[in-house]
């Protein structure tokens, strides 16, 4: 049994053991944690959530480690979630992450945790959202979420974060194409890491020209402002509110989001990235887009949660046999598919 008020109190006070416990329960999909999350709800919404995504091995963890340092120097506290959806492949990386984490181990203003999200009902993004809320309630000023940007996970981070840092590296060849396809919807701050390698300037130019092309091709403020464009992200504040944006130093004079080079290993270039994230944060707040973005993200979350609940109901023995009987009805031509769905929907909702 969990003493809910006590667990919530300890989380609010930032007790690392209470944080670890709650996040483990989220990770394991233990429904008992829901009461704790409910008790914390009123304490959430203060942290700025920054998603860091990009291809495997692009240096995200190294960068995040440097972001943490930079934020600590600026007097801000930081919670970090490293999402590891496919442990067989990233086992080594997790080990590397552990070593990096140790440099902050004695700092109370930092909490770092990886998430494997075994069997969470709400899927990966549901668990990450919940864990981020726990860190938010614990009072961390910034919550950084690292996810590997492959396929859908890039999109997921857009649905979780207030600001998305998209990391790329020189020498990936075709991967820039992958980036191209989703680039407009994803990044608020573009980082080309491993700038110590050949080709970084070329990648910067390529990203800039893609963003410019997108701007010229009618990336209208309306379509990108977050209203009426639910699925395309509504992400580019730079396109959406240029005056407010430039007054905060986010983006350039043409309304393009920043594209910056870093060498995460040495920390070179990291300060300006954090400046850009902070400028984006200020601009979001100023223009009202922060609220819009959060409304949209919670909308996704609600839809996902409802879908999961319905799926869970479909999995009960009663529902399974009902479904089997309806399938029989369809095959025997007693009902058509649409009628069968109507019946199921009526019974389940």
298, 315 in Cβ contact below 8 A? no
Among 7, 33, 61, 261, binds ligand GTP (CB under 6 A): 61
62 binds, among Mg ion, ligand GTP, none (CB under 5 to 8 A by kind): ligand GTP
Should residue 62 be labelled a site residue for ligand GTP when binding is judged by CB under 6 A? yes
Rounded to the nearest whole angstrom, what is the least distance from the CB of residue 52 to ligand GTP in the complex?
9
Cα–Cα distance, 175 to 57 (Å, whole number): 13
154, 182 in Cβ contact below 8 A? yes
Which segment (18-26, 53-61, 125-133, 136-144) binds ligand GTP by CB under 6 A?
A: 53-61
Should residue 90 be labelled a site residue for ligand GTP when binding is judged by CB under 6 A? yes
194 binds, among Mg ion, ligand GTP, none (CB under 5 to 8 A by kind): ligand GTP
The number of residues that bind ligand GTP (CB under 6 A) is 18
> Which x/- pattern, by CB under 6 A, does the window 308-337 give for ligand GTP?
------------------------------
Nearer to ligand GTP, 61 or 297 (CB): 61
Which residues contact residue 16 at a Cβ distance below 8 angstroms, ignoring those fewer than 6 apart? 111
Rounded to the nearest whole angstrom, what is the least distance from the CB of residue 290 to Mg ion in the complex?
27
SS3 content of the chain, % helix, strand, coil (to 5): 60, 10, 30
Q: What are phi and psi for residue 81, nearest 5 degrees?
A: -120, 120
193 binds, among ligand GTP, Mg ion, none (CB under 5 to 8 A by kind): ligand GTP
15, 108 in Cβ contact below 8 A? no
63 is written with which tokens?
């960068």
DSSP state of 258: P
Residue ranges in 72-111 that form contacts with Mg ion under rule CB under 5 A:
93
Nearer to Mg ion, 93 or 290 (CB): 93
Q: What are phi and psi for residue 195, nearest 5 degrees?
A: -65, -10
Among 45, 96, 151, 315, binds ligand GTP (CB under 6 A): 96
Nearer to ligand GTP, 90 or 297 (CB): 90
Nearer to ligand GTP, 43 or 265 (CB): 265
Nearer to Mg ion, 85 or 199 (CB): 85
Cα–Cα distance, 47 to 50 (Å, whole number): 9
Which helix or strand (DSSP H or E) is residue 45 part of?
none
Should residue 148 be labelled a site residue for ligand GTP when binding is judged by CB under 6 A? yes
Should residue 221 be labelled a site residue for ligand GTP when binding is judged by CB under 6 A? no
* Beta carbons within 10 angstroms of residue 274's beta carbon: 21
Should residue 61 be labelled a site residue for Mg ion when binding is judged by CB under 5 A? yes
Long-range contacts of 223-230, Cβ-Cβ distance < 8 Å, separation of 24 or more: 224/184, 225/289, 225/292, 226/289, 226/292, 226/293, 226/296, 227/292, 230/296, 230/299
Which residues contact residue 130 at a Cβ distance below 8 angstroms, ignoring those fewer than 6 apart? 26, 33, 37, 122
Among 53, 117, 163, 193, binds ligand GTP (CB under 6 A): 193
Cα–Cα distance, 128 to 26 (Å, whole number): 8
> Which x/- pattern, by CB under 6 A, does the window 257-276 give for ligand GTP?
------xxx-----------
- Residues interacting with ligand GTP, by CB under 6 A? 56-62, 90, 93, 96, 148, 193-194, 196-197, 263-265
- Residues interacting with Mg ion, by CB under 5 A? 60-61, 93
């Amino acid at each position: 049994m969990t003493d809910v008020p006590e667990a919530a109190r300890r989380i609010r006070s930032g007790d690392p053991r209470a944080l670890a416990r709650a996040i483990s329960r989220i990770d394991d999909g233990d429904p008992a944690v829901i009461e704790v999350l409910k008790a914390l709800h009123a304490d959430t919404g203060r942290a700025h959530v920054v998603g860091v995504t990009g291809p495997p091995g692009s240096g995200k963890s190294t960068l995040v480690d440097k972001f943490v340092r930079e934020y600590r120097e600026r007097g801000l506290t930081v919670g970090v979630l490293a999402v590891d959806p496919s442990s067989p492949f990233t086992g080594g990386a997790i080990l590397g992450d552990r070593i990096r984490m140790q440099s902050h181990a004695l700092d109370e203003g930092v909490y770092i945790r990886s998430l494997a999200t075994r069997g969470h009902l709400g899927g990966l993004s549901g668990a990450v959202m919940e864990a981020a809320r726990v860190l938010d309630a614990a009072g961390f000023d910034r919550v950084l979420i690292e996810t590997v940007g492959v396929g859908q996970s890039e999109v997921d981070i857009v649905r979780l974060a207030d600001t998305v840092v998209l990391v790329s590296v020189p020498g990936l060849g075709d991967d820039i194409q992958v980036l191209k396809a989703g680039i407009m919807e994803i990044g608020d701050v573009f980082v080309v890491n491993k700038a110590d390698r050949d080709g970084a300037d070329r990648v910067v130019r390529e990203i800039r020209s893609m963003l410019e092309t997108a701007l010229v091709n009618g990336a209208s403020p309306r379509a990108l402002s977050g209203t009426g464009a639910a699925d395309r992200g509504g992400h580019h504040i730079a396109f959406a509110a240029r005056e407010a944006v430039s007054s905060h130093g986010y983006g350039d004079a043409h309304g393009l989001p920043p594209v910056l080079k870093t060498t995460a290993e040495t920390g070179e270039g990291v300060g300006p990235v954090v400046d850009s994230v902070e400028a984006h944060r200020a601009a979001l707040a100023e223009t009202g887009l922060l609220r819009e973005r959060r409304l949209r993200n919670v909308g996704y979350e609600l839809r996902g949660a409802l879908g999961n609940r319905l799926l869970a109901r479909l999995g009960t023995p009663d529902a399974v046999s009902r479904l089997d009987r309806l399938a029989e009805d369809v095959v025997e031509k007693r009902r058509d598919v649409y009628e069968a769905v109507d019946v199921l929907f009526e019974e389940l909702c």
